[in-house]
Amino acid sequence: MKLLSILFIFVSSYSFCLAAPATDKVNDLPGLTFTPDFFHYSGYLRAWTDKYLHYWLTESSRAPTQDPLVLWLNGGPGCSSLDGLIEELGPFHVKDFGNSIYYNEYAWNKFANVLFLESPAGVGYSYSTNFNLTVSDDEVSLHNYMALLDFLSKFPEYKGRDFWITGESYAGVYIPTLAVRILNDKKNFPNFKGVAIGNGALNFPNNYNTMVPFYYYHALVRDDLYNDIARNCCNNNIGTCDIYSKFFDPNCRDKVINALDGTNELNMYNLYDVCYYNPTTNLKKAFIERQMRIAVGLPARKHNAATTVPLCAQTNNTHVYLNRADVRKSLHIPSSLPAWEECSDQVGKNYVVTHFNVIPEFQTMIAAGIKILVYNGDVDTACNSIMNQQFLTSLNLTVLGEQEKVNEAWHYSGQTGTAVAGFQTKFAGNVDFLTVRGSGHFVPEDKPKESQQMIFNFINNKDYSTPIQL
């Protein structure tokens, strides 16, 4: 009996060594106001000989040994996925000026093991040993892929698990380019099921082409200016106009800029949000706006204290919390690394865009038969819903369902009843397009209940209106 007990202890210890790395386990996250019913891990994954990407894994609180693995990527390019964890879909949300963490009841790790990856090197806690932060779209997809292979070596229990890639904004490029690499590696990812892209930059030039009509039909542009652009820059047809090119046309540049200045006193990520932001900071909203302006040769918008003073308190909670020395220690972050930033100007300035649209990658994913969800908050002007509807239309996929309906409503069902959550279009090829009503660019932040139900039903192959049953 004693021999059997010793053998059992040995086998158990050996099995543990083959599972999650104990050195990366987070045991004492400062500021917690609740006791997590799940394990979580923070550490580094080797993405290249000189690139190390920080990850934070929040295991499922339901069935961690059975539930799928979901990767989350924020965009930028150059913004940290820890924003997604702390401000959007993760279980840990920060309050009290970075002093305490409360539980997000709409966290996605209620039904999935969610891996947050800070990518590329130079973003957040991720780093490069040679300090070279110049990187391209294809290099990012390669580094993310290599980091995932390292993750599977650290967490072999996830090898063969159902796997999904999700994210938002410029992850509209990160995700499809990574998905193609994953599809070519059936050995390590035999159960790659699909992707979900929120407010993605799927066709960068067309984002600008659709912004002017989007602004006009949200009453941000006067008739005379809109008609002036249509008549003198677009041959009286803004619907098919290459407005992106007009930024470089001296006869039209000022007209287009005047139209897009319609959000100068608004939050361009959510037209109806009352939380303004200082466009000169490195917080994600200001950073992404600067990147968009740089792309068409516009200077950064200046801070106007009269209109951009935040009306919602504690906008820098995440930044304060993640730069606490005790938090960094708990997350196993080397003290030699610089302060954590939501977005990296150095990465943004050195980033090389090579995929201005991701049609080839979508065609590869569709041919492979994996599930694809494109969703958009419908009052986001940074990556607007018209752009992504037109992107999917350009794929020439057959629309499924009742053809006479422009879009079909989907509903959120909660304790207070059922309400329209947005609208949906289903295409042949396992492709779905959803809008999220009243949401801006960051859907899990603006509409946490609806986004949780949407993702749960997507990965469980259920109708989007089905109430969550855990």
Secondary structure of residue 469 in the 3-state scheme: coil
* 441 classed as catalytic: yes
Number of structural domains (the chain) is: 2
Judge if 167 and 34 occupy the same domain. Answer: yes
C-alpha to C-alpha distance for 357 and 381, rounded to whole angstroms:
18
Structural domain containing residue 250? 210-276+292-308
Judge if 383 and 465 occupy the same domain. Answer: yes
Q: If you count them, how many residues does the chain have? A: 470
From residue 152, give the alpha-carbon distance in Å to each of 158, 204, 234, 425.
Answer: 6, 33, 51, 35
Q: Tell me: the pLDDT tens digits for 420-470?
A: 999 999 999 999 999 999 999 999 999 999 999 999 999 999 999 999 988
| Any domain includes 420 | yes
| Any domain includes 432 | yes
| Any domain includes 9 | no
Judge if 77 and 114 occupy the same domain. Answer: yes
| Any domain includes 174 | yes
Judge if 73 and 191 occupy the same domain. Answer: yes
Judge if 179 and 233 occupy the same domain. Answer: no
pLDDT band with cut points at 50, 70 and 90 for residue 305? low
**pLDDT for position 269:** 85
* 169 classed as catalytic: yes
Q: Tell me: the pLDDT tens digits for 195-225?
A: 999 999 999 889 888 988 999 999 989 999 9
Query: Cβ–Cβ contacts within 10 Å for residue 318, how many?
Result: 22
**pLDDT for position 308:** 52
Judge if 123 and 224 occupy the same domain. Answer: no
Secondary structure of residue 177 in the 3-state scheme: helix
Which neighbouring-strand residues pair with 194?
A: 164, 371
pLDDT band with cut points at 50, 70 and 90 for residue 8? very low
Structure tokens at 347: 């990465």
Low-confidence winner among 162-166, 200-204, 355-359, 401-405 (lowest mean pLDDT): 401-405
Q: What share of the chain is helix, strand, coil (3-state, %, to 5)?
A: 35, 20, 45
The residue annotated as part of the active site, out of 42, 441, 446, 451, is 441
**pLDDT for position 165:** 98
DSSP state of 88: I
- With contact defined as beta carbons under 8 Å apart, do 230 and 402 qualify? no
| Any domain includes 5 | no
Domain CATH number, residue 359: 3.40.50.1820
The residue annotated as part of the active site, out of 67, 137, 380, 446, is 380
Judge if 302 and 319 occupy the same domain. Answer: no
pLDDT band with cut points at 50, 70 and 90 for residue 359? very high
Share of the chain above pLDDT 70, in %: 86
Judge if 25 and 168 occupy the same domain. Answer: yes
| Any domain includes 98 | yes
Which neighbouring-strand residues pair with 46?
A: 52
CA 381 to chain centre: 16
Q: Which of 254, 247, 203, 196 is nearest to 225 (CA)?
A: 254
C-alpha to C-alpha distance for 108 and 90, rounded to whole angstroms:
7
Identity of residue 119: S
Q: Tell me: the pLDDT tens digits for 308-350?
A: 555 565 578 899 999 999 999 999 999 999 999 999 989 988 9
Judge if 183 and 133 occupy the same domain. Answer: yes
Q: Which of 374, 377, 389 is nearest to 441 (CA)?
A: 377
**pLDDT for position 286:** 66
Query: Cβ–Cβ contacts within 10 Å for residue 386, how many?
Result: 18
Judge if 105 and 190 occupy the same domain. Answer: yes
C-alpha to C-alpha distance for 151 and 316, rounded to whole angstroms:
30
The residue annotated as part of the active site, out of 169, 344, 385, 451, is 169
Judge if 35 and 110 occupy the same domain. Answer: yes
| Any domain includes 418 | yes
pTM value is 0.91
**pLDDT for position 84:** 97
Judge if 285 and 433 occupy the same domain. Answer: yes
| Any domain includes 168 | yes
CA 220 to chain centre: 27
| pLDDT reading at 411 higher than 90 | yes
